[in-house]
């Protein structure tokens, strides 16, 4: 598989203004975020929450960060406590599929009610601003010359998206993905701090998690997994620009408890659509380089089933999942 999943560019976007949506103000919306502050889940949930608040869609928006187990601790708590979370939302992304396939999570998205995907975020690779690694080809050369001394890191567990996207890119350059040394951190914020402290040589993370620090000179992005340069950051090269035929975008979306009523579920869909099509959210989305990716309800569930099959094949390709016996 020479090209990863094109979620951002191929997904259908439902385009409509908030003025077209008949949305009644909801008393409160609570978000459970399965990681600490500063990462992609946190920034996306809070951006949606801001749009809900600023647009008068919700009278009160609250957030709960609960890290641990690569998101598994929060997921288990959400599922096991219907009285507390029956009318709440938990944010997740591609890792819920990856970790379920690996057996890290006993739960899957099937144990939740998929409400809506709201954005997708390209992956990127970044180095310390003072690093002599100037390009992805330089990074490949470093891994080849010193595989034991070259450390990668990311905000997801081993074998998850931050890990396997980098491993797949290096595999295309002739490097055994199973020999890539990767340190897992509790979210993109901690991983970026590790890069700043020079504990790792390269950071694999979401583009939106790194672009602010790139602009501030705190790190330097050497490649992004988009098909073409991102409009808000055209000087950052893609992997394709550098000769590696690889694209990837990680969706982020929201799930409700399986005991959520049909009325509450439909209200969540309407509220999320109103939020992500608002001018408040559009400003944040463009600043972070997120791609529009709103799909809801049954369409979102179908998307998840299709992605599960694609991710299974991808993980088998890089050796992170055993091929199914025929």
Q: Is the predicted pLDDT of residue 180 greater than 90, yes or no?
A: yes
Rounded-to-integer distance, Cα 273 and Cα 279, Å = 12
Q: Is pTM, for the whole model, over 0.95?
A: no
Band the pLDDT of 199: cuts 50, 70, 90: very high
- Given a contact cutoff of 8 angstroms between Cβ atoms, the answer to whether 86 and 95 are in contact is no
Q: Which residue has the higher pLDDT, 236 or 98?
A: 236
Shared fold status for 7-121+249-317 and 122-242: yes
CA geometry: angle 158, 239, 71, nearest 5 deg: 25
Distant-in-sequence, close-in-space partners of 20: CB < 8 Å, separation ≥ 6? none
Q: Is the predicted pLDDT of residue 87 greater than 70, yes or no?
A: yes
- 3-state DSSP call for residue 112? coil
Looking up tokens 């641990």 gives: 68
Residue 68 pLDDT: 86
- Give residue limits of the domains in the chain: 7-121+249-317, 122-242
Band the pLDDT of 208: cuts 50, 70, 90: confident
Band the pLDDT of 323: cuts 50, 70, 90: low
Residue 36 pLDDT: 86
- Given a contact cutoff of 8 angstroms between Cβ atoms, the answer to whether 116 and 266 are in contact is no
Average pLDDT in the chain: 88
Second CATH level (architecture) for the domain 122-242: 3-Layer(aba) Sandwich (3.40)
Percent of the chain with pLDDT over 70: 91
pLDDT per residue as tens digits for the range 101-160: 888 788 889 999 999 999 999 999 999 999 999 999 999 999 999 999 999 999 887 888
CA geometry: angle 307, 308, 314, nearest 5 deg: 85
Residue 98 pLDDT: 87
Helix or strand (DSSP H, E) at 236: none
- Given a contact cutoff of 8 angstroms between Cβ atoms, the answer to whether 281 and 148 are in contact is no
Residue 4 pLDDT: 40
The arithmetic mean of pLDDT across residues 2-17, rounded, is: 34
The domain made up of 7-121+249-317 is a member of CATH 3.40.190.150: yes
């Amino acid at each position: 598989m020479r090209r990863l999943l094109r979620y951002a560019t191929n997904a259908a976007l439902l385009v409509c203004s908030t003025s077209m949506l008949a949305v009644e103000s909801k008393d409160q919306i609570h978000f459970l975020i399965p990681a600490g502050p500063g990462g992609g889940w946190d920034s996306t949930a809070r951006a949606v929450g801001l749009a809900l608040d600023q647009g008068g869609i919700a009278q009160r928006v609250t957030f709960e960060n609960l890290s641990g187990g690569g998101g598994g601790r929060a997921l288990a708590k959400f599922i096991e406590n219907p009285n507390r979370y029956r009318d709440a939302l938990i944010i997740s992304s591609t890792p819920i599929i990856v970790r379920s396939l690996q057996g890290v999570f006993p739960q899957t998205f099937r144990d939740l009610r998929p409400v809506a995907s709201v954005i997708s975020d390209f992956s990127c690779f970044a180095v310390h601003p003072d690093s002599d690694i100037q390009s992805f080809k330089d990074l490949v050369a470093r891994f080849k010359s010193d595989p034991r001394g070259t450390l990668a890191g990311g905000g997801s567990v081993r074998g998850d998206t931050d890990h396997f996207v980098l491993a797949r890119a290096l595999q295309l350059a002739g490097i055994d993905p199973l020999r890539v040394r990767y340190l897992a951190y509790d979210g993109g914020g901690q991983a970026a701090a590790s890069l700043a402290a020079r504990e790792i040589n390269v950071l694999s993370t979401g583009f939106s998690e790194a672009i602010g620090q790139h602009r501030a000179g705190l790190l330097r992005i050497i490649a992004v997994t988009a098909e073409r340069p991102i409009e808000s950051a055209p000087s950052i090269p893609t992997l394709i620009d550098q000769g590696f035929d690889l694209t990837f975008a990680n969706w982020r979306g929201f799930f409700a408890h399986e005991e959520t009523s049909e009325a509450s579920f439909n209200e969540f869909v309407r509220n999320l659509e109103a939020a992500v099509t608002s001018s408040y959210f559009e400003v944040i989305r463009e600043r972070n380089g997120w791609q529009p990716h709103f799909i809801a309800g049954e369409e979102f569930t179908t998307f998840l089933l299709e992605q599960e099959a694609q991710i299974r094949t991808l993980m088998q390709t890089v050796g992170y999942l055993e091929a199914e016996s025929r």
